[in-house]
Structure 1
Protein backbone atom coordinates (compact mmCIF):
# COMPACT_ATOMS: atom_id res chain seq x y z
CA UNK A 1 0.00 0.00 0.00
CA UNK A 2 1.16 3.56 -0.75
CA UNK A 3 0.84 5.04 2.71
CA UNK A 4 1.33 8.67 1.68
CA UNK A 5 -1.59 8.39 -0.75
CA UNK A 6 -3.74 6.76 1.94
CA UNK A 7 -2.79 9.41 4.49
CA UNK A 8 -3.57 12.21 2.08
CA UNK A 9 -6.96 10.75 1.15
CA UNK A 10 -7.96 10.17 4.77
CA UNK A 11 -6.65 13.56 5.85
CA UNK A 12 -8.82 15.21 3.20
CA UNK A 13 -11.87 13.31 4.44
CA UNK A 14 -11.16 14.46 8.00
CA UNK A 15 -10.55 18.07 6.92
CA UNK A 16 -13.82 18.13 4.97
CA UNK A 17 -15.84 16.78 7.88
CA UNK A 18 -14.10 19.06 10.40
CA UNK A 19 -15.04 22.02 8.23
CA UNK A 20 -18.66 20.84 8.25
CA UNK A 21 -18.81 20.15 11.98
CA UNK A 22 -16.81 23.02 13.45
CA UNK A 23 -18.61 26.08 14.76
CA UNK A 24 -18.50 29.22 12.62
CA UNK A 25 -17.06 32.46 14.07
CA UNK A 26 -20.26 34.47 14.09
CA UNK A 27 -22.25 36.14 16.85
CA UNK A 28 -21.14 37.05 20.34
CA UNK A 29 -18.68 34.13 20.65
CA UNK A 30 -16.99 34.80 17.31
CA UNK A 31 -13.57 35.76 18.68
CA UNK A 32 -13.45 32.67 20.91
CA UNK A 33 -14.49 30.37 18.05
CA UNK A 34 -11.96 32.03 15.74
CA UNK A 35 -9.14 31.15 18.15
CA UNK A 36 -10.38 27.55 18.29
CA UNK A 37 -10.51 27.35 14.50
CA UNK A 38 -7.08 28.94 14.13
CA UNK A 39 -5.28 26.02 15.77
CA UNK A 40 -7.63 23.34 14.46
CA UNK A 41 -7.19 24.33 10.83
CA UNK A 42 -3.59 25.55 10.85
CA UNK A 43 -2.41 22.18 9.52
CA UNK A 44 -1.11 18.90 10.92
CA UNK A 45 -0.75 15.27 9.92
CA UNK A 46 -4.10 14.22 11.51
CA UNK A 47 -2.49 10.96 12.65
CA UNK A 48 -4.99 10.27 15.43
CA UNK A 49 -8.15 10.66 13.34
CA UNK A 50 -6.54 8.62 10.55
CA UNK A 51 -5.72 5.87 13.06
CA UNK A 52 -9.38 5.96 14.14
CA UNK A 53 -10.57 5.51 10.57
CA UNK A 54 -8.01 2.76 9.92
CA UNK A 55 -9.05 0.99 13.14
CA UNK A 56 -12.64 0.95 11.92
CA UNK A 57 -11.59 -0.24 8.48
CA UNK A 58 -9.60 -3.14 9.96
CA UNK A 59 -12.85 -4.52 11.41
CA UNK A 60 -15.38 -3.46 8.78
CA UNK A 61 -14.44 -1.57 5.61
CA UNK A 62 -18.01 -0.74 4.55
CA UNK A 63 -18.77 2.84 3.59
CA UNK A 64 -21.41 3.05 6.33
CA UNK A 65 -18.84 2.30 9.03
CA UNK A 66 -16.32 4.66 7.45
CA UNK A 67 -18.88 7.49 7.56
CA UNK A 68 -19.97 6.68 11.11
CA UNK A 69 -16.38 6.84 12.32
CA UNK A 70 -15.72 10.33 10.92
CA UNK A 71 -17.32 12.36 13.77
CA UNK A 72 -15.31 10.30 16.25
CA UNK A 73 -12.14 10.98 14.26
CA UNK A 74 -12.94 14.70 14.26
CA UNK A 75 -13.53 14.70 18.02
CA UNK A 76 -10.11 13.10 18.52
CA UNK A 77 -8.47 15.85 16.45
CA UNK A 78 -10.22 18.49 18.57
CA UNK A 79 -8.79 16.88 21.71
CA UNK A 80 -5.33 16.59 20.23
CA UNK A 81 -5.37 20.23 19.09
CA UNK A 82 -6.50 21.39 22.53
CA UNK A 83 -3.55 19.55 24.06
CA UNK A 84 -1.13 21.28 21.69
CA UNK A 85 -2.53 24.73 22.51
CA UNK A 86 -2.08 24.10 26.23
CA UNK A 87 1.34 22.44 25.84
CA UNK A 88 2.60 25.57 24.07
CA UNK A 89 1.50 27.98 26.81
CA UNK A 90 4.13 30.01 28.72
CA UNK A 91 3.36 28.06 31.90
CA UNK A 92 4.02 24.77 30.08
CA UNK A 93 6.53 24.41 27.20
CA UNK A 94 6.44 28.12 26.28
CA UNK A 95 6.73 27.60 22.51
CA UNK A 96 5.98 30.24 19.89
CA UNK A 97 5.72 27.97 16.85
CA UNK A 98 3.39 25.04 16.12
CA UNK A 99 2.68 23.34 12.78
CA UNK A 100 4.84 26.01 11.17
CA UNK A 101 2.66 28.89 12.41
CA UNK A 102 2.67 31.14 15.49
CA UNK A 103 1.17 29.36 18.49
CA UNK A 104 -2.32 30.25 19.64
CA UNK A 105 -1.28 32.33 22.64
CA UNK A 106 1.13 34.44 20.56
CA UNK A 107 -1.74 35.37 18.21
CA UNK A 108 -4.74 35.63 20.55
CA UNK A 109 -3.16 36.05 23.99
CA UNK A 110 -2.69 33.59 26.82
CA UNK A 111 -6.20 33.77 28.30
CA UNK A 112 -7.86 33.33 24.91
CA UNK A 113 -5.58 30.37 24.15
CA UNK A 114 -6.51 28.63 27.40
CA UNK A 115 -10.17 29.10 26.57
CA UNK A 116 -9.66 27.92 22.98
CA UNK A 117 -8.19 24.68 24.33
CA UNK A 118 -11.04 24.35 26.81
CA UNK A 119 -13.53 24.94 24.02
CA UNK A 120 -12.02 22.30 21.73
CA UNK A 121 -11.89 19.70 24.50
CA UNK A 122 -15.51 20.13 25.50
CA UNK A 123 -16.72 20.46 21.90
CA UNK A 124 -15.16 17.07 21.19
CA UNK A 125 -17.59 15.48 23.63
CA UNK A 126 -20.44 17.45 22.09
CA UNK A 127 -19.53 15.76 18.78
CA UNK A 128 -19.31 12.34 20.43
CA UNK A 129 -22.58 12.52 22.34
CA UNK A 130 -24.77 14.66 20.08
CA UNK A 131 -26.65 14.20 16.81
CA UNK A 132 -23.50 14.17 14.66
CA UNK A 133 -22.65 10.68 15.91
CA UNK A 134 -26.24 9.50 16.42
CA UNK A 135 -25.89 6.73 13.82
CA UNK A 136 -23.64 4.87 16.27
CA UNK A 137 -25.53 2.63 18.68
CA UNK A 138 -25.90 4.38 22.05
CA UNK A 139 -24.28 1.57 24.03
CA UNK A 140 -21.24 1.73 21.76
CA UNK A 141 -21.15 5.53 21.93
CA UNK A 142 -20.99 5.36 25.71
CA UNK A 143 -18.03 2.98 25.51
CA UNK A 144 -16.28 5.23 22.99
CA UNK A 145 -16.85 8.33 25.13
CA UNK A 146 -15.54 6.54 28.22
CA UNK A 147 -12.45 5.25 26.41
CA UNK A 148 -11.57 8.66 24.99
CA UNK A 149 -12.32 10.50 28.24
CA UNK A 150 -10.11 8.08 30.16
CA UNK A 151 -7.29 8.43 27.61
CA UNK A 152 -7.48 12.24 27.64
CA UNK A 153 -7.90 12.68 31.40
CA UNK A 154 -5.97 12.55 34.68
CA UNK A 155 -4.88 8.94 34.20
CA UNK A 156 -4.03 9.53 30.54
CA UNK A 157 -2.84 12.52 28.54
CA UNK A 158 -3.33 15.20 31.21
CA UNK A 159 -1.72 13.04 33.85
CA UNK A 160 1.21 12.33 31.54
CA UNK A 161 1.72 16.05 30.89
CA UNK A 162 1.66 16.60 34.66
CA UNK A 163 4.39 14.00 35.15
CA UNK A 164 6.37 15.52 32.29
CA UNK A 165 6.42 18.84 34.11
CA UNK A 166 7.10 17.36 37.54
CA UNK A 167 10.17 15.50 36.32
CA UNK A 168 11.51 18.29 34.10
CA UNK A 169 15.20 18.66 34.94
CA UNK A 170 15.19 15.57 37.19
CA UNK A 171 17.26 12.41 36.83
CA UNK A 172 14.75 9.63 36.22
CA UNK A 173 14.93 6.10 34.88
CA UNK A 174 13.24 4.19 32.11
CA UNK A 175 10.17 3.17 34.12
CA UNK A 176 9.31 6.80 34.82
CA UNK A 177 9.98 7.82 31.21
CA UNK A 178 7.78 5.00 29.93
CA UNK A 179 5.00 5.96 32.35
CA UNK A 180 5.11 9.59 31.23
CA UNK A 181 4.84 8.80 27.55
CA UNK A 182 2.48 5.84 27.83
CA UNK A 183 -0.04 8.29 29.29
CA UNK A 184 0.94 11.58 27.61
CA UNK A 185 1.21 10.23 24.06
CA UNK A 186 0.26 6.55 23.95
CA UNK A 187 -3.12 6.70 25.67
CA UNK A 188 -4.87 8.88 23.08
CA UNK A 189 -3.23 7.03 20.19
CA UNK A 190 -4.51 3.73 21.57
CA UNK A 191 -7.97 5.22 22.14
CA UNK A 192 -7.98 6.49 18.56
CA UNK A 193 -7.50 2.99 17.13
CA UNK A 194 -9.91 1.40 19.61
CA UNK A 195 -12.70 3.94 19.16
CA UNK A 196 -12.70 3.35 15.42
CA UNK A 197 -12.82 -0.40 16.00
CA UNK A 198 -15.73 0.04 18.41
CA UNK A 199 -17.69 1.96 15.78
CA UNK A 200 -17.20 -1.04 13.47
CA UNK A 201 -18.38 -3.56 16.08
CA UNK A 202 -15.04 -5.13 17.03
CA UNK A 203 -15.05 -8.32 19.10
CA UNK A 204 -13.29 -8.40 22.49
CA UNK A 205 -10.37 -10.30 20.95
CA UNK A 206 -10.05 -7.72 18.18
CA UNK A 207 -10.11 -4.91 20.72
CA UNK A 208 -7.35 -6.60 22.73
CA UNK A 209 -5.19 -6.97 19.64
CA UNK A 210 -5.80 -3.38 18.54
CA UNK A 211 -5.02 -2.08 22.03
CA UNK A 212 -1.65 -3.86 21.84
CA UNK A 213 -1.10 -2.32 18.42
CA UNK A 214 -1.97 1.15 19.72
CA UNK A 215 0.34 0.93 22.74
CA UNK A 216 3.30 -0.08 20.59
CA UNK A 217 2.57 2.52 17.92
CA UNK A 218 2.29 5.14 20.66
CA UNK A 219 5.70 4.10 22.02
CA UNK A 220 7.30 4.23 18.57
CA UNK A 221 5.69 7.62 17.88
CA UNK A 222 7.13 9.13 21.06
CA UNK A 223 10.61 7.71 20.54
CA UNK A 224 10.70 9.10 17.01
CA UNK A 225 9.42 12.46 18.31
CA UNK A 226 12.31 12.52 20.79
CA UNK A 227 14.78 11.68 18.03
CA UNK A 228 13.41 14.32 15.69
CA UNK A 229 13.73 16.94 18.41
CA UNK A 230 17.53 16.52 18.29
CA UNK A 231 17.95 15.61 14.62
CA UNK A 232 15.47 17.71 12.61
CA UNK A 233 15.32 21.46 12.03
CA UNK A 234 12.65 23.88 13.18
CA UNK A 235 11.56 24.29 9.55
CA UNK A 236 11.15 20.53 9.14
CA UNK A 237 9.26 20.08 12.40
CA UNK A 238 7.05 23.16 12.23
CA UNK A 239 7.89 23.74 15.89
CA UNK A 240 11.06 24.68 17.78
CA UNK A 241 13.75 22.00 17.40
CA UNK A 242 15.82 21.14 20.46
CA UNK A 243 13.12 22.25 22.89
CA UNK A 244 13.38 19.04 24.94
CA UNK A 245 17.08 19.64 25.52
CA UNK A 246 16.50 23.31 26.38
CA UNK A 247 13.81 22.31 28.88
CA UNK A 248 16.05 19.59 30.30
CA UNK A 249 13.42 16.90 29.73
CA UNK A 250 14.17 13.22 30.02
CA UNK A 251 13.86 11.59 26.59
CA UNK A 252 14.72 8.26 24.99
CA UNK A 253 17.88 9.64 23.32
CA UNK A 254 19.02 11.18 26.60
CA UNK A 255 18.67 7.84 28.37
CA UNK A 256 19.67 5.38 25.66
CA UNK A 257 21.39 7.33 22.91
CA UNK A 258 20.12 7.80 19.38
CA UNK A 259 20.92 4.43 17.83
CA UNK A 260 19.49 2.37 20.69
CA UNK A 261 16.40 4.59 20.68
CA UNK A 262 16.01 4.03 16.96
CA UNK A 263 16.24 0.27 17.50
CA UNK A 264 13.62 0.48 20.27
CA UNK A 265 11.26 2.33 17.92
CA UNK A 266 11.68 -0.29 15.20
CA UNK A 267 11.07 -3.09 17.70
CA UNK A 268 7.89 -1.39 18.94
CA UNK A 269 6.63 -1.07 15.36
CA UNK A 270 7.30 -4.75 14.73
CA UNK A 271 5.36 -5.67 17.88
CA UNK A 272 2.50 -3.45 16.71
CA UNK A 273 2.41 -5.18 13.33
CA UNK A 274 2.60 -8.62 14.98
CA UNK A 275 -0.44 -7.72 17.10
CA UNK A 276 -2.42 -7.55 13.84
CA UNK A 277 -1.71 -11.15 12.84
CA UNK A 278 -5.36 -12.07 13.34
CA UNK A 279 -6.53 -9.44 10.83
CA UNK A 280 -6.67 -9.74 7.07
CA UNK A 281 -5.69 -7.19 4.40
CA UNK A 282 -8.27 -4.72 5.71
CA UNK A 283 -5.73 -3.94 8.44
CA UNK A 284 -2.98 -3.12 5.92
CA UNK A 285 -3.45 0.64 6.48
CA UNK A 286 -2.68 0.10 10.17
CA UNK A 287 0.41 -1.91 9.27
CA UNK A 288 1.58 0.78 6.86
CA UNK A 289 0.84 3.55 9.36
CA UNK A 290 3.02 1.86 11.95
CA UNK A 291 5.92 1.75 9.51
CA UNK A 292 5.28 5.34 8.44
CA UNK A 293 5.46 6.51 12.05
CA UNK A 294 8.93 5.06 12.59
CA UNK A 295 10.21 6.25 9.19
CA UNK A 296 8.83 9.82 9.31
CA UNK A 297 11.17 12.81 9.18
CA UNK A 298 8.89 15.39 10.79
Structure 2
Protein backbone atom coordinates (compact mmCIF):
# COMPACT_ATOMS: atom_id res chain seq x y z
CA UNK A 1 0.00 0.00 0.00
CA UNK A 2 2.83 2.41 0.78
CA UNK A 3 4.14 2.07 -2.75
CA UNK A 4 0.76 3.00 -4.28
CA UNK A 5 0.32 5.95 -1.92
CA UNK A 6 3.85 7.20 -2.62
CA UNK A 7 3.28 7.14 -6.40
CA UNK A 8 -0.12 8.80 -5.98
CA UNK A 9 1.36 11.62 -3.88
CA UNK A 10 4.29 12.07 -6.23
CA UNK A 11 2.17 12.35 -9.38
CA UNK A 12 -0.29 14.70 -7.69
CA UNK A 13 2.55 16.90 -6.47
CA UNK A 14 4.10 17.00 -9.95
CA UNK A 15 0.73 17.91 -11.46
CA UNK A 16 0.14 20.75 -9.01
CA UNK A 17 3.69 22.09 -9.34
CA UNK A 18 3.51 22.07 -13.12
CA UNK A 19 1.43 25.24 -13.26
CA UNK A 20 1.62 25.52 -17.04
CA UNK A 21 0.21 22.03 -17.47
CA UNK A 22 -2.48 22.74 -14.87
CA UNK A 23 -3.41 26.01 -16.59
CA UNK A 24 -3.69 24.54 -20.08
CA UNK A 25 -5.59 21.47 -18.90
CA UNK A 26 -8.22 23.73 -17.35
CA UNK A 27 -8.04 26.24 -20.18
CA UNK A 28 -8.80 23.62 -22.85
CA UNK A 29 -11.81 22.42 -20.88
CA UNK A 30 -13.09 25.97 -20.54
CA UNK A 31 -12.38 26.61 -24.22
CA UNK A 32 -14.54 23.68 -25.30
CA UNK A 33 -17.11 24.63 -22.68
CA UNK A 34 -17.56 28.12 -24.11
CA UNK A 35 -17.21 27.18 -27.79
CA UNK A 36 -19.65 24.26 -27.79
CA UNK A 37 -22.04 25.83 -25.29
CA UNK A 38 -22.55 29.14 -27.08
CA UNK A 39 -21.39 28.81 -30.67
CA UNK A 40 -22.52 25.24 -31.33
CA UNK A 41 -25.71 25.06 -29.29
CA UNK A 42 -27.79 25.92 -32.35
CA UNK A 43 -26.88 22.49 -33.76
CA UNK A 44 -28.66 20.61 -30.97
CA UNK A 45 -31.89 20.22 -32.92
CA UNK A 46 -34.66 18.45 -31.02
CA UNK A 47 -32.78 18.43 -27.70
CA UNK A 48 -34.22 20.04 -24.60
CA UNK A 49 -31.88 22.15 -22.46
CA UNK A 50 -29.21 22.32 -25.23
CA UNK A 51 -26.81 24.35 -23.07
CA UNK A 52 -26.81 21.89 -20.17
CA UNK A 53 -26.83 18.99 -22.64
CA UNK A 54 -23.52 20.18 -24.10
CA UNK A 55 -22.02 21.19 -20.76
CA UNK A 56 -22.57 17.75 -19.26
CA UNK A 57 -20.96 16.12 -22.30
CA UNK A 58 -17.92 18.36 -22.10
CA UNK A 59 -17.48 17.66 -18.37
CA UNK A 60 -17.30 13.90 -18.84
CA UNK A 61 -15.06 14.28 -21.92
CA UNK A 62 -12.67 16.32 -19.79
CA UNK A 63 -12.42 13.43 -17.32
CA UNK A 64 -11.98 10.88 -20.13
CA UNK A 65 -9.23 12.78 -21.92
CA UNK A 66 -7.44 13.69 -18.70
CA UNK A 67 -7.48 10.09 -17.45
CA UNK A 68 -6.06 8.83 -20.72
CA UNK A 69 -3.45 11.54 -21.28
CA UNK A 70 -2.17 11.53 -17.68
CA UNK A 71 -0.88 8.03 -18.32
CA UNK A 72 2.01 9.72 -20.13
CA UNK A 73 3.54 9.98 -16.65
CA UNK A 74 4.96 6.51 -17.26
CA UNK A 75 6.74 7.66 -20.42
CA UNK A 76 8.04 10.74 -18.62
CA UNK A 77 9.28 8.57 -15.74
CA UNK A 78 11.16 6.40 -18.22
CA UNK A 79 12.83 9.42 -19.83
CA UNK A 80 13.92 10.77 -16.44
CA UNK A 81 15.20 7.41 -15.22
CA UNK A 82 12.68 7.31 -12.37
CA UNK A 83 10.96 4.20 -13.70
CA UNK A 84 14.24 2.27 -13.78
CA UNK A 85 14.88 3.14 -10.13
CA UNK A 86 11.41 2.26 -8.91
CA UNK A 87 11.27 -1.03 -10.86
CA UNK A 88 14.35 -2.31 -9.02
CA UNK A 89 12.99 -1.16 -5.65
CA UNK A 90 11.25 -3.59 -3.24
CA UNK A 91 7.84 -2.22 -4.32
CA UNK A 92 5.86 -4.90 -6.23
CA UNK A 93 5.11 -3.98 -9.82
CA UNK A 94 1.38 -4.40 -9.34
CA UNK A 95 1.46 -1.64 -6.72
CA UNK A 96 3.28 0.64 -9.17
CA UNK A 97 0.68 0.07 -11.89
CA UNK A 98 -2.25 0.59 -9.50
CA UNK A 99 -0.57 3.73 -8.15
CA UNK A 100 -0.34 5.08 -11.69
CA UNK A 101 -4.02 4.31 -12.32
CA UNK A 102 -5.11 5.93 -9.05
CA UNK A 103 -3.06 9.08 -9.65
CA UNK A 104 -4.39 9.50 -13.21
CA UNK A 105 -7.94 8.94 -11.94
CA UNK A 106 -7.57 11.46 -9.11
CA UNK A 107 -6.15 14.14 -11.41
CA UNK A 108 -8.91 13.51 -13.98
CA UNK A 109 -11.66 13.78 -11.34
CA UNK A 110 -10.16 17.00 -9.97
CA UNK A 111 -10.20 18.51 -13.45
CA UNK A 112 -13.78 17.34 -13.95
CA UNK A 113 -14.89 18.93 -10.66
CA UNK A 114 -13.23 22.22 -11.63
CA UNK A 115 -15.22 22.25 -14.88
CA UNK A 116 -18.41 21.46 -12.92
CA UNK A 117 -17.76 24.50 -10.72
CA UNK A 118 -17.40 26.73 -13.81
CA UNK A 119 -20.49 25.14 -15.37
CA UNK A 120 -22.55 26.13 -12.32
CA UNK A 121 -21.97 29.78 -13.26
CA UNK A 122 -23.11 29.01 -16.81
CA UNK A 123 -26.53 27.72 -15.81
CA UNK A 124 -25.95 24.11 -14.79
CA UNK A 125 -28.32 23.40 -11.90
CA UNK A 126 -27.57 20.38 -9.73
CA UNK A 127 -28.16 19.35 -6.11
CA UNK A 128 -25.78 17.60 -3.73
CA UNK A 129 -27.06 14.10 -4.59
CA UNK A 130 -26.57 14.73 -8.29
CA UNK A 131 -23.07 16.06 -7.62
CA UNK A 132 -22.22 12.93 -5.61
CA UNK A 133 -23.52 10.69 -8.42
CA UNK A 134 -21.58 12.72 -10.99
CA UNK A 135 -18.36 12.29 -9.00
CA UNK A 136 -19.08 8.55 -8.78
CA UNK A 137 -19.37 8.34 -12.58
CA UNK A 138 -16.20 10.43 -12.94
CA UNK A 139 -14.34 7.97 -10.70
CA UNK A 140 -15.56 5.01 -12.74
CA UNK A 141 -14.62 6.71 -16.02
CA UNK A 142 -11.27 7.77 -14.55
CA UNK A 143 -10.35 4.24 -13.44
CA UNK A 144 -11.51 2.71 -16.73
CA UNK A 145 -9.61 4.99 -19.07
CA UNK A 146 -6.60 5.39 -16.79
CA UNK A 147 -6.31 1.60 -16.92
CA UNK A 148 -6.50 1.74 -20.71
CA UNK A 149 -3.86 4.49 -20.75
CA UNK A 150 -1.47 2.53 -18.51
CA UNK A 151 -2.08 -0.57 -20.63
CA UNK A 152 -1.23 1.32 -23.84
CA UNK A 153 1.85 2.88 -22.22
CA UNK A 154 3.03 -0.60 -21.17
CA UNK A 155 2.51 -1.96 -24.69
CA UNK A 156 4.08 0.97 -26.57
CA UNK A 157 7.68 0.54 -27.69
CA UNK A 158 8.38 4.27 -27.93
CA UNK A 159 6.99 7.58 -26.69
CA UNK A 160 6.09 8.53 -30.28
CA UNK A 161 4.10 5.32 -30.72
CA UNK A 162 2.29 5.97 -27.47
CA UNK A 163 1.25 9.48 -28.51
CA UNK A 164 -0.03 8.19 -31.86
CA UNK A 165 -1.97 5.43 -30.09
CA UNK A 166 -3.56 7.93 -27.69
CA UNK A 167 -4.56 10.27 -30.53
CA UNK A 168 -5.95 7.44 -32.66
CA UNK A 169 -7.90 6.15 -29.66
CA UNK A 170 -9.21 9.51 -28.43
CA UNK A 171 -10.41 11.35 -31.53
CA UNK A 172 -12.95 8.88 -32.98
CA UNK A 173 -14.30 7.88 -29.57
CA UNK A 174 -14.82 11.51 -28.56
CA UNK A 175 -16.73 12.66 -31.62
CA UNK A 176 -18.81 9.48 -31.90
CA UNK A 177 -19.88 9.55 -28.25
CA UNK A 178 -22.56 12.23 -28.56
CA UNK A 179 -20.69 14.54 -26.17
CA UNK A 180 -20.44 17.39 -28.68
CA UNK A 181 -22.86 16.31 -31.40
CA UNK A 182 -26.06 14.50 -30.31
CA UNK A 183 -26.23 10.92 -31.55
CA UNK A 184 -29.82 11.57 -32.64
CA UNK A 185 -28.63 13.84 -35.47
CA UNK A 186 -25.79 11.61 -36.64
CA UNK A 187 -26.26 9.78 -39.96
CA UNK A 188 -27.41 6.16 -39.78
CA UNK A 189 -24.12 5.08 -41.34
CA UNK A 190 -22.33 6.04 -38.12
CA UNK A 191 -24.84 4.50 -35.70
CA UNK A 192 -23.08 1.09 -35.45
CA UNK A 193 -19.85 2.86 -34.44
CA UNK A 194 -21.80 4.92 -31.91
CA UNK A 195 -23.27 1.79 -30.32
CA UNK A 196 -19.92 0.00 -29.90
CA UNK A 197 -18.27 3.13 -28.50
CA UNK A 198 -17.92 2.83 -24.68
CA UNK A 199 -17.88 6.62 -24.35
CA UNK A 200 -21.41 6.71 -25.74
CA UNK A 201 -22.72 4.99 -22.62
CA UNK A 202 -20.45 7.04 -20.37
CA UNK A 203 -21.91 10.24 -21.79
CA UNK A 204 -25.49 8.95 -21.59
CA UNK A 205 -25.38 7.99 -17.89
CA UNK A 206 -23.70 11.28 -17.03
CA UNK A 207 -26.40 13.26 -18.83
CA UNK A 208 -29.10 11.07 -17.32
CA UNK A 209 -27.91 12.09 -13.85
CA UNK A 210 -26.96 15.69 -14.60
CA UNK A 211 -30.16 16.63 -16.44
CA UNK A 212 -32.54 14.81 -14.03
CA UNK A 213 -34.05 12.45 -16.61
CA UNK A 214 -35.22 9.80 -14.13
CA UNK A 215 -38.89 10.57 -14.78
CA UNK A 216 -38.68 10.20 -18.55
CA UNK A 217 -40.02 7.10 -20.30
CA UNK A 218 -37.81 4.81 -22.37
CA UNK A 219 -39.16 6.31 -25.60
CA UNK A 220 -38.37 9.84 -24.38
CA UNK A 221 -34.87 8.81 -23.30
CA UNK A 222 -34.24 7.35 -26.76
CA UNK A 223 -35.48 10.59 -28.32
CA UNK A 224 -33.10 12.57 -26.10
CA UNK A 225 -30.18 10.35 -27.13
CA UNK A 226 -29.66 8.99 -23.61
CA UNK A 227 -31.03 5.49 -24.25
CA UNK A 228 -30.37 3.58 -27.47
CA UNK A 229 -32.77 1.44 -29.48
CA UNK A 230 -30.77 -1.25 -31.29
CA UNK A 231 -33.20 -3.24 -33.43
CA UNK A 232 -35.83 -3.18 -30.71
CA UNK A 233 -33.43 -3.78 -27.83
CA UNK A 234 -33.18 -0.66 -25.66
CA UNK A 235 -29.99 0.03 -23.75
CA UNK A 236 -30.94 2.09 -20.71
CA UNK A 237 -28.43 4.49 -19.05
CA UNK A 238 -27.74 2.22 -16.09
CA UNK A 239 -27.21 -0.73 -18.41
CA UNK A 240 -24.60 1.40 -20.14
CA UNK A 241 -23.04 2.05 -16.74
CA UNK A 242 -22.69 -1.71 -16.26
CA UNK A 243 -20.94 -1.92 -19.65
CA UNK A 244 -18.41 0.70 -18.53
CA UNK A 245 -17.91 -1.05 -15.20
CA UNK A 246 -17.24 -4.37 -16.93
CA UNK A 247 -14.86 -2.71 -19.36
CA UNK A 248 -13.06 -0.99 -16.48
CA UNK A 249 -12.56 -4.29 -14.63
CA UNK A 250 -11.20 -5.99 -17.75
CA UNK A 251 -8.68 -3.27 -18.58
CA UNK A 252 -7.68 -2.82 -14.94
CA UNK A 253 -6.66 -6.49 -14.81
CA UNK A 254 -5.01 -6.26 -18.24
CA UNK A 255 -2.98 -3.16 -17.36
CA UNK A 256 -1.68 -4.75 -14.13
CA UNK A 257 -0.74 -7.97 -15.94
CA UNK A 258 0.89 -6.12 -18.85
CA UNK A 259 2.78 -3.78 -16.52
CA UNK A 260 4.14 -6.76 -14.57
CA UNK A 261 5.77 -8.25 -17.66
CA UNK A 262 6.66 -5.06 -19.57
CA UNK A 263 10.35 -4.45 -20.34
CA UNK A 264 10.69 -0.67 -19.98
CA UNK A 265 14.42 -0.79 -20.79
CA UNK A 266 13.47 -1.32 -24.44
CA UNK A 267 11.12 1.66 -24.61
CA UNK A 268 12.58 4.40 -26.80
CA UNK A 269 11.96 7.93 -25.60
CA UNK A 270 12.27 10.84 -28.03
CA UNK A 271 15.02 13.24 -27.01
CA UNK A 272 14.99 16.51 -29.02
CA UNK A 273 18.57 17.26 -27.93
CA UNK A 274 19.92 14.19 -29.69
CA UNK A 275 19.86 14.94 -33.37
Q: Relative contact order: is structure 1 or structure 2 higher (C-alpha 8 Å, sep ≥ 6)?
A: 2
Same fold (TM over 0.5): no
TM-score scaled by length of structure 1: 0.34
Normalising by the residue count of structure 2, what TM-score does the alignment of the two structures yield?
A: 0.36
Structure showing greater radius of gyration is 2
